A and B are shown apart, each in its own frame.
Chain A
């Protein structure tokens, strides 16, 4: 991968001087028409618009179709394609080692809701600063179409077999665990997805975006609740979303009572324009209720389900020095000789706590 070059004349550049092409990755190897490819495009566009510095981004994923996609965007960022279901633990480790990196995780419904459900939950509990995108199609694509744990009740496989197990709702679960940024979107709705991604980049803790992303090969048939047709029919956005980053000094005019504003810690703002009803994304209980009502009504609600920009993050908890731990020189991490002498004295005198066994 070569370094970003001087942009060709006429190519627009973002605030860090990069063209949109500087955020490309290698060519996708997924099926033509796969929802994941649209999400990849959304990530590239959002990262460019947000002016992310590629060297400050670490792309992380697990195993599955979705987890392949970090190779297809941000080719100038380091990437880590982990083992199945374990991306959150990698993210947690990277976050401790280098607090300056923006962690961009991509996973799927199998990688997250089945094998990785434990790590998903504990990452949220800790509130590790990271964006966690679930590319959710309700099936295992790479192993040819088995149900995943997010398949809806009654949704069918290509063979006609219907799912009879309760689906895991990753957004409801995230809210339950105290996640401060929970959104649901649709790979076909770039207008909604992009501002959500940019807002997630500005969030301080874990940001979960569950993106319904139809599998054209194994779940795009009649009877599948996550086919393009079904999603388009049932998609019920909560609001129209605009995102104004801190570096754009825009005045936004809106009629009183039509729009909610959410202020992010870095000065960025999210504007949520009211649609049918006025939805308050800062009320966790209501968000939870809305998710459950939507399930009963077989609606796919999308938008910013819950936001709390002021959660206690993993970094708040760790109270690390400002410089990334990975960059600290030896003299900062090896205490001086007198410390060893002091400790050795305590073990010579017997004043150190001795032994750890029972008794």
Chain B
């Protein structure tokens, strides 16, 4: 038996609401504590309790943390899905199953390991409800023993999560031990092993929504408005948690922030625009249905030039779609989110670190440009746990953009709210509360001239619209620039963005093994940087990899650089699961006129 060390995936099939999350996180953490890179993907239904849910842990010492399409170890805890889950397992795989769950026989080259979980739970507690929750820790112990995960690390991970609840900790620890003891007494020969490495020192494990929340707090957000929607709610809930803890004075009880749970997303963006207009750093977070509702106010913010920061944690559309699955389907819509000629700056974080950092960038840019700005994250990035280096404290102060205070107004003859006084398309604004009446103006979404007066004058309208276009053109250079990995002699250029990044890094290595040299550019913002145009022109064949059906970034790219249209192809992944490297490789090789070599991924 060829041993497989630190390179396999564990797939846990459970029932939503059964308390498996703690168990899965303990498993994930304990492997990471052994110095081996991991990633965890939670595949859950739009349901609170009772429907099937899966959690996949990828163990990979090369540091590839994208989802892996093939699972090597299956944990069967859900009778409803057992037959299909088991049938999906390939030769050489391990199936750990609660022995009370029946499923059809599998070919002999799969190892089925049945565990009398109910019996093992008997001595641990008499409480039926607790048994149901704690039984998950049995599979943690079983998998731990069979896969060589050190028991001390499992106990440490368990303690970190439940240390504040001694009773729960004791129960869970007993179940873990029962699992370890049972598997030790009933050994089986297996290829899969976790071996200690030193590759995760100092790393953190965090999801993108929490990262964005932290970034927003350190960016100095003061007003938060939101309407609950999966998968963005956890961003705001994490933010509220941090703000309450670190931005409310313990003695006085007074806060340097205000949060409102709005009646809908229209109100949420209205709250944000009102607060930003009055000078606060204001934000909201939502998902596709929410930005659909916000469209009218986005156009208002564009035309009246008011900053707003809106996080769109993308989920599968159209309509309600698959609310708990991931997608990059909102790019085109976000770019032109309102009626008339509009376009909006869009940030595309590709990691939890960028979720943290772009939170500050978003405020700086929205206030600099005086525009609503979208940050497009997605469910995979936002709600799954990712290994990362710890975040760094912001090195810079904030950029509040062009605001004239009383003293600055004293020095000018006339305040032109919508005049291009600096030649960069960005006007100056004043805030209500300003005592210098010279700075007073009336904000409106109807036609206005440089002095913010109502007008239907055609020339004034065109001047205003042309200035707005100029402002957006200049934004290209202000937005985060793409990240590039150039490969000498490459004939292929890969372009991707957002959470696809990790699959792209792995796919690029896999392609190299197949003899396809590829350079890689990761787009980090719209409007597209000039260097994206150059990259697309440089390579004979360019593949834009996206998690949507219509190739939305490709469409945007070939609109801007029409001469490359015939050379720019789409590689698409849009089934709602996080993209994996093999899909990218398959897509590229298909275009390259080559077939995939069987087993090339191992």
Residues of A within 8 A of B (CB): 1-4, 54-56, 58-59, 70-71, 75-83, 86, 88-98, 100-101, 118-119, 121-122, 126, 318-322, 324-328, 330, 332-335, 337, 339-340, 343-344, 347-352, 354-359
Contacts A93-B276, A350-B157 given; does A81 touch B446 at CB 8 Å: yes
> Shortest distance in angstroms between A175's beta carbon and chain B's nearest beta carbon?
20
Residue from the set B238, B272, B273, B435 with the largest chain A CB neighbour count within 10 Å: B273
Q: Is the CB of A356 within 8 A of B45?
A: no
Question: What 1/0 flags go to B196-225 for Cβ under 8 Å of A?
Answer: 000000111111011000100111111101
Contacts A350-B157, A350-B161, A359-B24 given; does A97 touch B437 at CB 8 Å: no
Contacts A81-B442, A340-B214, A344-B390 given; does A355 touch B223 at CB 8 Å: no
A-B contacts, 7 of them at CB < 8 A, read: A90-B271, A93-B225, A93-B280, A122-B263, A352-B210, A357-B44, A358-B44
Q: Is the CB of B436 within 8 A of A3?
A: yes
Candidates A89, A319, A335, A356; contact of B218 at CB < 8 Å: A335
Candidates B217, B430, B445; contact of A82 at CB < 8 Å: B445
Contacts A325-B280, A332-B256, A357-B21 given; does A89 touch B47 at CB 8 Å: no
CB-based nearest B residue for A60: B274
Question: CA separation between A326 and B223, bound complex, in Å?
Answer: 9
Q: Is the CB of A355 within 8 A of B207?
A: yes
Candidates A75, A101, A334, A357; contact of B432 at CB < 8 Å: A101
Q: Is the CB of A350 within 8 A of B257?
A: no
- Which residues 160-190 in B have Cβ within 8 Å of A in the complex? 160-161, 163
Question: What 1/0 flags go to B42-78 for Cβ under 8 Å of A?
Answer: 1011011000010100000000000000000000000
B431 at the interface (CB under 8 A from A): yes
Question: CA separation between A58 and B205, bound complex, in Å?
Answer: 46
Q: Is the CB of A86 within 8 A of B266?
A: yes
Question: CA separation between A81 and B267, bound complex, in Å?
Answer: 15
Contacts A97-B280, A350-B160 given; does A355 touch B274 at CB 8 Å: no
Question: CA separation between A10 and B541, bound complex, in Å?
Answer: 81
Lowest 6 A-B CB distances belong to which pairs?
A93-B274, A89-B270, A326-B279, A356-B234, A97-B280, A359-B21
Contacts A54-B437, A83-B297, A354-B161 given; does A93 touch B255 at CB 8 Å: no
Question: CA separation between A1 and B451, bound complex, in Å?
Answer: 9
Q: Is the CB of B207 within 8 A of A330?
A: no
B262 at the interface (CB under 8 A from A): yes
**Contact residues on B (Cβ < 8 Å of other chain), bracket:** 35 or more
Question: CA separation between A93 and B237, bound complex, in Å?
Answer: 19
Residue from the set B161, B242, B300, B443 with the largest chain A CB neighbour count within 10 Å: B443
Q: Is the CB of A359 within 8 A of B445?
A: no
Contacts A55-B435, A321-B254, A330-B220 given; does A97 touch B44 at CB 8 Å: no
Residue from the set A70, A91, A352 with the largest chain B CB neighbour count within 10 Å: A352
Q: What B residues does A95 contact at CB under 8 A?
A: 274
Q: What B residues does A337 contact at CB under 8 A?
A: 393
Q: What A residues does B222 contact at CB under 8 A?
A: 96-97, 325-326, 328, 333
Question: CA separation between A117 and B411, bound complex, in Å?
Answer: 44
> Shortest distance in angstroms between A313's beta carbon and chain B's nearest beta carbon?
13
Q: Is the CB of B278 within 8 A of A58?
A: yes
Contacts A83-B445, A344-B390, A354-B205 given; does A335 touch B217 at CB 8 Å: yes
Q: What A residues does B260 contact at CB under 8 A?
A: 92, 96, 126
Residue from the set B16, B206, B277 with the largest chain A CB neighbour count within 10 Å: B277
B391 at the interface (CB under 8 A from A): yes
B385 at the interface (CB under 8 A from A): yes
Contacts A96-B271, A355-B384 given; does A325 touch B223 at CB 8 Å: yes
Residues of B within 8 A of A (CB): 14, 16-21, 24-25, 29, 40, 42, 44-45, 47-48, 53, 55, 157, 160-161, 163, 202-207, 209-210, 214, 217-223, 225, 231, 233-234, 237-238, 242, 246-249, 252-260, 262-264, 266-282, 296-297, 300, 324, 383-385, 390-391, 393-394, 397-398, 430-438, 440-446, 454
Question: CA separation between A349 and B163, bound complex, in Å?
Answer: 12
Q: What A residues does B393 contact at CB under 8 A?
A: 337, 340
Question: CA separation between A332 and B16, bound complex, in Å?
Answer: 42
Q: What B residues does A359 contact at CB under 8 A?
A: 14, 16-21, 24, 42, 44, 53, 55
Q: Is the CB of B432 within 8 A of A98?
A: yes
Candidates A126, A321, A343; contact of B214 at CB < 8 Å: A343
Contacts A78-B441, A96-B260 given; does A119 touch B278 at CB 8 Å: no
Q: Is the CB of B42 within 8 A of A1?
A: no
> Shortest distance in angstroms between A88's beta carbon and chain B's nearest beta carbon?
8
Q: Is the CB of B438 within 8 A of A2?
A: yes
Question: CA separation between A70 and B255, bound complex, in Å?
Answer: 32
Residue from the set A59, A78, A356 with the largest chain B CB neighbour count within 10 Å: A356
Candidates A3, A80, A92, A101; contact of B443 at CB < 8 Å: A80
CB-based nearest B residue for A315: B258
Q: What B residues does A1 contact at CB under 8 A?
A: 437-438, 440-441
Q: What A residues does B445 contact at CB under 8 A?
A: 81-83
CB-based nearest B residue for A322: B254
Q: What A residues does B442 contact at CB under 8 A?
A: 59, 70-71, 78-81
Q: Is the CB of A118 within 8 A of B264?
A: yes
Q: Is the CB of B433 within 8 A of A324?
A: yes
Q: Is the CB of B383 within 8 A of A98?
A: no
Candidates A71, A319, A334, A356; contact of B207 at CB < 8 Å: A356
Q: Is the CB of B437 within 8 A of A2?
A: yes
Q: Is the CB of A97 within 8 A of B279?
A: yes
> Shortest distance in angstroms between B218's beta carbon and chain A's nearest beta carbon?
6
Question: CA separation between A122 and B234, bound complex, in Å?
Answer: 23
Contacts A70-B442, A81-B443, A333-B222 given; does A97 touch B275 at CB 8 Å: yes
> Shortest distance in angstroms between A303's beta carbon and chain B's nearest beta carbon?
30
Question: CA separation between A81 and B18, bound complex, in Å?
Answer: 51
CB-based nearest A residue for B281: A333
Q: What A residues does B237 contact at CB under 8 A?
A: 356
Question: CA separation between A340 and B394, bound complex, in Å?
Answer: 10
Candidates A77, A118, A334; contact of B220 at CB < 8 Å: A334
CB-based nearest B residue for A323: B256
Q: What A residues does B248 contact at CB under 8 A?
A: 319
CB-based nearest A residue for B209: A356
Q: What A residues does B268 contact at CB under 8 A?
A: 89
CB-based nearest A residue for B242: A343
Q: Is the CB of B160 within 8 A of A98?
A: no
Q: Is the CB of B434 within 8 A of A119?
A: no
Q: Is the CB of A351 within 8 A of B21?
A: no
Q: Is the CB of A318 within 8 A of B255?
A: yes
